[in-house]
Amino acid sequence: MESVQAIKQRFGIIGNDPSLNRAIEKAIQVAPTDISVLVTGESGVGKESIPKIIHQLSHRKHGKYIAVNCGAIPEGTIDSELFGHEKGAFTGATQTRSGYFEVADGGTIFLDEVGELPLTTQVRLLRVLENGEFIKVGSSKVQKTNVRIVAATNVNMFEAIKKEKFREDLYYRLSTVEIHLPALRERKDDIHLLFRKFASDFALKYKMPTIKLSDDAVNLLLKYRWSGNIRQLRNVAEQISVLEQNRIISASTLQSYLPNSGSNLPAVINNSKSESDFSNEREILYKVLFDMKSDLNDLKKLTMELMKSGNASEVQKQNEGLIQKIYGDDNSVTEDDVEELEVLSIPEKSSEIQHSSTPEDTQDKYHFAEEIEEEETLSLHDKELELIKKSLERHNGKRKLAAQELGISERTLYRKIKQFDL
Ligand SMILES: Nc1ncnc2c1ncn2[C@@H]1O[C@H](COP(=O)(O)OP(=O)(O)O)[C@@H](O)[C@H]1O
Ligand SMILES: [Mg+2]
C-alpha cells in the first residue's frame, strides 16, 4: 500500500495537518473496495483529489474516470447526461445517446456537488447504486452497469434532508464511508506552508523573484478566515506575485488582497443557501433576458406612441408609469431624454439617421431581428414559465414574495399566472 506521503507527492497535495493525513489514509484504505464514498468539506478545500486517488488506487484504474459537476448541469438535461436517452425521447433528441453511467462501465464516476441533484434524478441514482440498474430517458429497457461512485458536497446534507431536498436513503447509500476535508482555517500549520509553495510556483511561472511575507503579514495570514479555503489562498498568492513590485509583503499590503479582513471575529456563516437566491446561473441569465425583453416591449410601445402623437411631453405625461418602470426611480426622464428618443425612433424627422441607412437596410435589419425573436420566444416562454413556477413553489404560492424575487410587480405576476394558466 502506498504511503500517505507518496500519495501526496503523486497528487500534488501540500500539507501535514493530521486531519488531512487521516483523510488521505481513509481514501487509500477504501480505494480497493467498491464502497461508495462521500467527500465533504467547504468549497476550495481540495475535495477533487480524493476521488482521483480512490480511482487510481483501485482495480478500476484502467477504466474510465468521469467527473460530473451536478450543480452545473441544468435540471432538464441531467437525467439524459447521466443515464442517456433514446432517439425521440424529447425535442432535439435526434439520436440515441449513452449517458455517463453507461460510458463509465467498469470505472468510477465522481459526482461533485451531489447535493444539487434534482429529486427525480436522486431516485434514478439510488437504483443504480442499489443494483446497478438504470433506464435511458424515453426507454423502458433496463440496462446494467458496474460503476463506482464517489460523491462530494459542500452543503450540509442533514439540513438538505430536513428540507426534503435530498433523499435520506440516498444519503446513507452514498456515504457508506465519509471523508471529511477540514477548512483551511482549521489547519493553521498548513496555511503558511501552502502560501510559500504557491508563491514559489508563481515566481517560476511568471519568472519573477519569489514574494516573501513579513512576520506581521504571516500573522494576518493565519488569523484570516479563508472562506474560499485553498482556492482563495492560491488566488491571493498569484495576485500578489504578479502585482507587487516590492517582493517583501507587509501586513497592510496583504490586507488589501483580503476581502473583509477586518472581520476576523468568529463570523456567523450562513451555510445554507438562501431560499430565494437564483443559485442556478442559467436562471439569472433568463431573468436578465426577460427583464430586457420586457423593457424592450415597453420601449416599443413608447416609441409607437411617440411616432403616432409627435408630442413628446404629452406622451410623457400619459405614460408616466411606463417611463418610471423603464428608467426607474433614480433616473427620472427629462424632456430632453424623451426628445432624444423621438429623434432616434422617427428617422423621417432626422436627416442624419436617414442618410446613414437606406430603407432597404432598415427592412433587412428588422427581418433579421424578427427571425431571431421567433426562435427565442418559444423557449423563453417555457423558461419564464418555469421561473415563475419555481418562485411560486419556493414561496408556497405567496404571490407577493414571488413577485419581489422575480423583480416584477404583483399585478404583472398575476397577469402572467393567468396568461400561463398556472
Ligand atoms: N492540499 C493541497 N495542496 C495543494 N493544492 C491544493 C490542495 N488542496 C486544494 N488545492 C488546490 O486548491 C484548488 C481547489 O481545490 P478543489 O479540489 O477544486 O476544491 P473543492 O473541490 O473542495 O472546492 C485547486 O486548484 C487545488 O489544486
Ligand atoms: Mg470542487
Q: What average pLDDT is seen over the chain?
A: 83
Rounded to the nearest whole angstrom, what is the distance from the C-alpha of residue 62 to the centroid of ligand 1?
24
| Averaged pLDDT for residues 266-271 | 43
* 152 phi/psi in degrees, rounded to 5: -140, 150
- For residue 68, the 8-state DSSP code is E
Q: 460523491: which residue's cell?
A: 151
The residues near 159 (Cβ < 8 Å, ≥ 6 apart) are: 271, 272
C-beta separation of 48 from 231 below 8 A: no
Distance CA 138, CA 84 (A): 9
What local confidence, expressed as pLDDT, does residue 379 receive? 64
Rounded to the nearest whole angstrom, what is the distance from the C-alpha of residue 51 to the centroid of ligand 1?
13
Q: Residue 122 pLDDT more than 60? A: yes
Q: Residue 81 pLDDT more than 90? A: yes
C-beta separation of 27 from 50 below 8 A: yes
Q: Which long-range contacts (CB under 8 A, 24 or more apart) does 416-420 make?
A: 416/384, 416/388, 417/388, 417/392, 420/385, 420/388
Distance CA 114, CA 153 (A): 6
Of residues 310 and 36, the one with the higher pLDDT is: 36
What local confidence, expressed as pLDDT, does residue 351 receive? 37
Of residues 405 and 74, the one with the higher pLDDT is: 74
What local confidence, expressed as pLDDT, does residue 118 receive? 96
Q: Of 140-154, 183-197, 288-302, 349-363, which range is least confident?
A: 349-363
Confidence of residue 419 (pLDDT cuts 50, 70, 90): confident
Element (H, E) at 152: strand 148-153
What local confidence, expressed as pLDDT, does residue 156 receive? 93
In residues, how long is the chain?
A: 422
Nearest by Cα to 221 from 266, 419, 230: 230
| Averaged pLDDT for residues 160-174 | 96
What local confidence, expressed as pLDDT, does residue 418 receive? 79
| Averaged pLDDT for residues 379-407 | 82
* 85 phi/psi in degrees, rounded to 5: -145, 160
Confidence of residue 352 (pLDDT cuts 50, 70, 90): very low
Ligand nearest to the CA of 17: 1
- In the chain, DSSP finds a helix count (H) and a strand count (E) of 20, 11
| Averaged pLDDT for residues 287-307 | 75
Q: Of 111-120, 271-280, 343-352, which range is least confident?
A: 343-352
The residues near 129 (Cβ < 8 Å, ≥ 6 apart) are: 36, 149, 170, 173, 174
Distance CA 46, CA 184 (A): 10
With pLDDT > 70 as the criterion, what percentage of the chain qualifies? 79
pTM of the predicted protein model? 0.65
| Averaged pLDDT for residues 55-80 | 96
C-beta separation of 241 from 207 below 8 A: no
Strand partners, 108: 65, 148
Ligand nearest to the CA of 72: 2
Residue type, 415: R
Ligand nearest to the CA of 47: 1
Distance CA 100, CA 121 (A): 13
Residue type, 58: S
| Averaged pLDDT for residues 13-21 | 96
What local confidence, expressed as pLDDT, does residue 125 receive? 97
Ligand 1 pocket test: pick from 230, 233, 234, 238 the residue with the most ligand atoms within 8 Å of its Cβ: 230
Cell output for 324: 418610471
What local confidence, expressed as pLDDT, does residue 290 receive? 63
What local confidence, expressed as pLDDT, does residue 341 receive? 36
Give the burial class of 192: count Cβ atoms within 10 A of its Cβ; 0-12 exposed, 13-18 middle, 19 or more buried: middle
Q: Residue 13 pLDDT more than 80? A: yes
Could you report the per-residue pLDDT of 225-267, keeping only the tens digit for each? 999 999 999 999 999 999 999 999 999 999 999 987 544 444 4
The residues near 72 (Cβ < 8 Å, ≥ 6 apart) are: 113
In a 13 Å sphere around the CA of 219, the CA atoms on its Cβ side amount to 6
Q: Residue 349 pLDDT more than 80? A: no
| Averaged pLDDT for residues 90-101 | 92
Could you report the per-residue pLDDT of 365-383, keeping only the tens digit for each? 444 343 434 444 456 677 7
Distance CA 385, CA 208 (A): 54
| Averaged pLDDT for residues 307-329 | 75
Q: Residue 361 pLDDT more than 60? A: no
Please report the DSSP string for 117-140 in residue order.
Answer: --HHHHHHHHHHHHHSEEE-BT--
Distance CA 167, CA 198 (A): 40
The residues near 194 (Cβ < 8 Å, ≥ 6 apart) are: 14, 15, 184, 230, 233, 234
Ligand 1 pocket test: pick from 43, 49, 54, 110 the residue with the most ligand atoms within 8 Å of its Cβ: 49
Q: Residue 86 pLDDT more than 70? A: yes
Could you report the per-residue pLDDT of 58-67, keeping only the tens digit for each? 999 999 999 9
| Ligand 1 surroundings by CB, under 6 angstroms | 12-15, 41, 43-49, 230-231, 234
Cell output for 410: 404583483
3-state SS class at 183: coil
